[in-house]
Amino acid sequence: MENTFRENLRSELEYQGVTVKELSAKTGIPKPTLECYVGKRATTPPADRAVRIAAALGVTVEFLVAGIPAGRGEARPKPVEQGRLFEMVNDLKKKSMVL
């Protein structure tokens, strides 16, 4: 199943640790409008706003729409997946110290 603009935007905000309020300040888009893009109603912004959101987050519009970062063939890992990866690396470090 393909990710939606809403899911990709929410994921990117979480990934970068950016709040909707901070994104509003960076883009000049009112906070309630941005909340419509990430909320349950999940409205899709017009192209000009999508471009401003992407620029403020340092990603492409294509990433927000399709989930594929520019120059890469796959979407970036979600924060939960990264957390598990870091846990696995730390476990390996601990095990190698014991040996």
**What domains are defined for the chain?**
5-74 (1.10.260.40)
User: CB-hemisphere CA count at 13 Å for 95?
Assistant: 6
Q: What is the pLDDT of residues 40-94, one digit of tens each?
A: 887 889 999 999 999 999 998 988 988 776 655 455 555 545 566 667 777 777 7
Q: How confident is the model at residue 1 (pLDDT cuts 50, 70, 90)?
A: very low
Beta strands in 1-99 (DSSP E): none
Residue 98: pLDDT band with limits 50, 70, 90: low
pLDDT of residue 85: 65
Q: Which residues contact 28 (CB under 8 A, 6 or more apart)?
A: 52
